[in-house]
Amino acid sequence: MADEKLEVDPAEAPTMPQLSPRTIIQAVVGLSLAVAIIAWGLPHFAETSWSQIGHHLDRVGWMVTLELLGLVFFGLWLYTFTLTGSLPGLTHGKALMMNVAGSAVGNLLPGGGAAGVAVTYLFGRSWGFSRLAISTSVIVSGVWNVLARVGLPFLGIAMLSLDQTALPRSVRQGALIGGLGGLIVLLVFIAMVVSERWAGRLGVLLDRWFGHWIARLRRGDKKGERIDLKAVLQNQRSRLASVTKTGWFPMTVGVTGFLGIYFVLFWRTMAAVGVDIPTPKLFAAYAIGRLLTAVGVTPGGLGVTEAGTLAVLVAWGADKPAAAAGVLLFAIFTHIAEVPLGALGWLGWSLTPKVVPPD
């Protein structure tokens, strides 16, 4: 990273580009759909009413609320190990700002992964990291996220699948598809590292998905030209291998620790509202919810995740109004609460010294 003494003039510092009308419309439509799914779906799938759901929410006191907030903060801090492992030179404090700010933007936009990448680029460039280092971090941490979010929950679901009555057929099929998806991601990553041709193909896909976001940030970074992600990946194959070799352990600790703490959060949330089912089934329901967060119809899968998780909990005999209250409360702590936390992340970033990037 560049020497932090080389501060830039505030007028020249990278800034977040203004959102286009299309992006604003997508955000409004996505959030409206999520609210509609929750408002109608929770009482529908639980065969209950909002008054009964509210009765279970009333059981959550201040001590429990503080406990759940503490778990959220701990999980987010653990994930900073993934970012610092994939972007050498990044501090945990800056990684936390980057994480919460990117999550907040992603939670407001359908298919928010692209917006999260844009935030990573913006923050990283302002702190003096090269484009090559940032793109490497995005790719490697993205692969680790997919493998952990699909692979680890898949193991839990596979254990329950030994009992053919424990999981509905559709859930078992979904778990299998998720596991195969994680395997495909791993194979593509390996192929990209060992083959220049495969690296170029992935670069074309990334440019199609994320190129317009990065181009907007380039304009905010006083650079008008568009980055050729195909050329970037082909030129940095050795760096991908190097970062993976040195950063695999902290990245693994970060992702698995984050998902593990959030399962504890899920378990404590359910206990707080009166859901009482065996822990293995509770874990499988949590795992299904983590898989559903990838659904890009709504921001962060909000609404879709809660409806799917609730359907599984109810099918396994959980108290219906309590289960509905539990998935709603979990969404509040893992999705809605990240928005004000993200605002603090943006504020912290605005106060940090901006550094001249090396390229």
Per residue, what are the HEC states of 170-182? HHHHHHHHHHHHH
Residue 10 has pLDDT above 50, yes or no: no
CA 276/CA 280 separation, integer angstroms: 12
pLDDT band at 8 (very low <50, low <70, confident <90, very high): very low
175 CB burial (10 A radius; 0-12, 13-18, 19+)? buried
The mean per-residue pLDDT over the stretch 5-28 comes to 56
Predicted pLDDT of residue 304: 80
Model pLDDT for residues 318-338, shown as the tens digit of each residue: 899 999 999 999 999 998 888
Q: Report percent pLDDT > 90 for the chain.
A: 30
Query: What own/partner pairs with CB < 8 Å and gap ≥ 24 does 26-29 have?
Result: 26/109, 26/110, 27/108, 27/109, 27/110, 27/299, 29/110
pLDDT band at 93 (very low <50, low <70, confident <90, very high): very high
Q: How many CB atoms lie within 10 A of CB 20?
A: 11
Predicted pLDDT of residue 176: 60
Whether 157 contacts 175, CB under 8 Å: yes
The mean per-residue pLDDT over the stretch 109-114 comes to 65
Model pLDDT for residues 136-193, shown as the tens digit of each residue: 898 888 888 877 777 665 666 666 655 555 555 655 555 566 556 656 766 666 666 6
The region of weakest confidence among 9-13, 103-107, 151-155 is 9-13
355 strand-pairing partners: 7
Residue 170 CB partners (closer than 8 Å, separation 6+): none
CA 8/CA 13 separation, integer angstroms: 6
- 3-state SS assignment for residue 358: coil
Model pLDDT for residues 223-253, shown as the tens digit of each residue: 545 556 666 666 666 777 788 888 889 999 9
Q: How many CB atoms lie within 10 A of CB 148?
A: 22
Whether 333 contacts 72, CB under 8 Å: yes
Model pLDDT for residues 31-88, shown as the tens digit of each residue: 788 788 888 888 887 888 999 999 999 999 899 999 999 999 999 999 999 999 999 9
The region of weakest confidence among 17-31, 154-168, 283-297, 314-328 is 154-168
